[in-house]
Amino acid sequence: MRKIYAYISSMKMGLYILIIIGVTSAMGSTFFPDTFFQSYIFQAGLLLLLLNMSLCTIRQAKTFWQTVSLGKEKGGVKRIGVIILHAGIVLILIGGTVNSLIGQKADISMTNGEVINLSDVLSDNDPLKIKLNEFYIEFNPDGSPCQYFSKVSLIKELGDSQEFTISVNNPLAYNGVKVYQQTFGYLLKVQTESDSRAVTKKTLREGDVLQFEGSDKSLKFVRYIPNYDPRYGMISRTTRPDNPKVIYAIYQNNSLIKAGIGSIADKIEIDTVSFVTLSGIEYYTGLGLKQDPGLPIAAAGGILLMVGSCCPLLMRRKSK
Amino acid sequence: MILFIQLFLYLSLLLYTLAAISYFVGQQNVIFSNAAFKISAIGFVVNLLALIMRILYTGRLPLVNGSEFILSFAGFTVLIYLWYEVKSKVNSAGGVVMGIAVILIASIIILMPNQLLETHPLMPALKSPWLTSHVLTAVFAYAGFAVAAGLAAIELLKNKETKGNSWIYKINSFSFAMLTLTIVLGAIWAEQAWGRYWSWDPKETWAGVTWIIYALYFHLHKSRKWQGKRANIMVLAGFILVLFTFFGVNYLILGLHSYA
C-alpha cells in the first residue's frame, strides 16, 4: 500500500501523466476537437493528475516545513515558488472539477421587454427574474460593430429591481450568477392579410416558415441583410443597417417557386388573396448564463500559478 | 506613415540578414564579429521605429493582429539576444538567433503583406484591459524561447557542453514564467469575454502542450542525463511547438484566436 501511495504521489508518475495529457491533447485537438476533451478517458486523466499533484504538493510542503523547522532550508524563495505553483495547478483542477460536477450554464435569447425567470433556466436559484429593457449595437464609423449592449433589470422576489448593462467583456455578476453578452440576431415583424380575414401580426426568426390558412403556399424568412450590396451577395457589407433588405422564399407544396429581396414596408403577394407586409426588424439578444461554484477556487489557483512561476525570477535577482 | 512602416520593416529585414551573415562569418573573423553586434543593435532600433510608426498610425499598442505580434516578437528576440551577448560575452548563437528574426520579419512580408499598412477598429471581444498584458507576456515568452532555441541549436552543433547551458536554463525560466502569465491572463480574459476560462480551443490546447514540454524540461533538468543533448533537443522541440501554436494554429485551424 505504501509503495502504491509512493508511486501515485511521485514526480515520475506526474511526468508520465503530463506526457500522456500533452500527447493526447495535441491529437484530440487535431482529430476530434469537438468530442475528445469531454470524453471520460480524458477527464479521468485530468483527475489522475489532480490526485498525483495534490499528494505530491502536500509531500513537498511537508518536507519544506520540516527542513525550515530544523533550520536546514537553503533555497527558500525558489522552493516556496515551486510549492505555490503546484498548489495553483491543484486548485485550478479542483475548480474545474467542481464546475463540471455542480456548475450550470444555459443560453437564453430575449427580445426587448421580455422577462425570463432565472430559476426556470438555472435550477436551485433564488427566485430572480431578468428583464431585457433594450438591446442595441454601437457602430464604428466604418459600419463594423463597436460594442453590443443588453440593458437588463434583475427583478427580485419582492418586486424591487436593479438595472445592469451587459456588454462583451463586461458580464453581469450577481449572487454567484454571471450573465454574458454572447450573440444577437434579427426578428422579422410581418403583417399577413388573406382573403377577407383581418390583418394578423407575426414575428419570425431567420429560417421560420409562415403558413397561410387555406393555401398551399408558404413564406420562409431566409435572412436579414442589414447592409445589402449586390457585390457581397448574401453577406452583409457591414453590420450597420445602411441598406436593410430581407431575403425570402415562397414555397408551394414544399417546392420553391420564388425567392426575392424585399425592403421594409414592402407588400409581398403570395397569391391573389394573400399578402405579407414586411413591417420591421427587431433585434434579439443572446445571453449566456453561468453558475460556477468552482470559479473562486480556480481563480485562486490562477493567482498562485502566476506568483509561483515568477518566484524563481525574483529569487535569482535577490541572490545576486 | 505607411511609407515609414514599410521602409523600417524592409530595413530591419536587411539589417537582420546582414547581422546573421556577419555573426556566421564572424566566427572566423574578428572584424565581422564586432560589426555583427552593432548591425543587430541598429536593426533592433529600426524594428522599434517600425513599431513606433505603427503605434502612431493606429493609436494603440501593436499587439492586436498577427503582423504586429510578429514585429514585436522579432524585436524582443533581438533585444533579449543582445542583452545575453552583453552579459555572457559569447556570440556563437548570434547567427541562428538573427536568422530567426529574419524568418519572422520575412513571414510578415510574405504571409501578411498588407496587414501593417491598414488599420481597422478593434472588434468588441478585443476591447479588454487584459489584451495588453496577455499579448505582451506572450511576446516576452516567445522571444525568450527563440533565443534559448538558438543557443540550444549551437550547443547541439558544437556537440559539447559549454557555458551556454546555464543561460538556456535562465532564459527558459524567464520565458516559462511569461508563458504561464500569458495562459493565466488569457484565461481570466476568456472568462470575462466568453464565460469559460478554458475551452480547449486549438490555441489554448497547443499553448498548454507547449507549457507541458517546458514543464517537463524543468523537472528533468534536475537529472544529470537530461542536462546536455537531450535538454537541448527538448528546448528546440519546445520552440517548434511555440511556432506551431502561433503560425500553425492561426493559419491552419480556426478557433477563438482566429483574428490573431
Report which of A320, A251, A284, A232 is spatially closest to residue A116, judged by C-alpha positions: A284
Q: Which amino acid is at A72?
A: K
- Tens-digit pLDDT profile for residues B211-242: 999 999 999 988 877 778 889 999 999 999 99
The CB-side HSE value for B258 (13 A sphere, CA atoms) comes to: 6
- In this prediction, residues A91-99 reach a mean pLDDT of 96
| Residue found by looking up cell 543557443 in the block | B151
Identity of the highest mean pLDDT range in A2-6, A35-39, B31-35, B186-190: B186-190
| Collapsed DSSP state (helix, strand, coil) of residue A106 | strand
Confidence of residue A125 (pLDDT cuts 50, 70, 90): low
Confidence of residue B260 (pLDDT cuts 50, 70, 90): very low
**Which residue from B123, B195, B216 is facing A19, i.e. has the nearest CB?**
B216
What was the pLDDT predicted at A5? 84
Mutation target to probe the B interface, by most B beta carbons within 10 A, among A79, A149, A182, A309 is: A309
Confidence of residue B160 (pLDDT cuts 50, 70, 90): low
- In this prediction, residues A185-194 reach a mean pLDDT of 90
- CA–CA separation, A65 vs A286, rounded Å? 51
- Contact residues, chain B, for A168 at CB < 8 Å: 124-125, 127, 193
ipTM of the complex: 0.89
Q: For residue B222, give the chain A residue with the closest CA.
A: A11
- Contact residues, chain A, for B200 at CB < 8 Å: 25, 29, 33, 37
Q: Which amino acid is at A245?
A: K
What was the pLDDT predicted at A315? 65
Interchain CB distance below 8 Å, A18 and B170: no
- Tens-digit pLDDT profile for residues A235-252: 999 999 999 999 999 999
- Contact residues, chain B, for A295 at CB < 8 Å: 191, 197
Residue B118: Cβ-neighbour burial (10 angstroms; 0-12, 13-18, 19+): exposed
| Collapsed DSSP state (helix, strand, coil) of residue B111 | helix
A167 reaches B (C-beta below 8 A): yes
- Tens-digit pLDDT profile for residues A18-28: 999 999 999 99
> How does DSSP classify residue A218?
E
- Contact residues, chain B, for A105 at CB < 8 Å: 195
Report which of A262, A283, A264, A184 is spatially closest to residue A219, judged by C-alpha positions: A262
- What is the rounded average pLDDT for all residues in chain B? 91
**Which residue from B191, B192, B213 is facing A22, i.e. has the nearest CB?**
B213
The answer to whether A221 and A246 are in contact (CB under 8 A) is yes
Confidence of residue A154 (pLDDT cuts 50, 70, 90): very high
